[in-house]
Amino acid sequence: MFDISFAELLLIAVITMIVIGPQRLPETFRFLGLWAGRLKRSLARARRELEREVGMDDIRRQLHNEEVLRNLEEYEKETGDKQRYEETPPTSPDEASSPSDENRPG
């Protein structure tokens, strides 16, 4: 992301140690960590609020539905099956789980 090498990080750490001092370094890192967490939570909250205002859930749902329809149409083209999924009669769970007459022993 920032394209910082290990040597550059080490140099920054040494300069920070000299400027801040070893006694105040843990306190400084704790302070920076708290502010980084606050910033992260604020950005996440703003993102959720923006998504809610824009209606991202509805958009995602619609995109998913369009993708499902597109996949169904591609399947119909590949198989040459013109019968729509909605038109097929649903089978009951009993019919689907019972063995056929050919496979019955006896």
Domain boundaries, the chain: 10-74
φ, ψ of residue 28 to 5 degrees: the values are -65, -45
How wide is the angle at C-alpha 90 spanned by C-alphas 89 and 94, nearest 5°?
130
Distance CA 97, CA 92 (A): 9
* pLDDT tens per residue across span 3-62: 889 999 899 888 988 998 888 988 988 999 999 999 999 999 999 898 888 777 788 888
With a CB cutoff of 8 Å and minimum separation 6, the contacts of 16 are 25
* pTM exceeds 0.75, yes or no: no
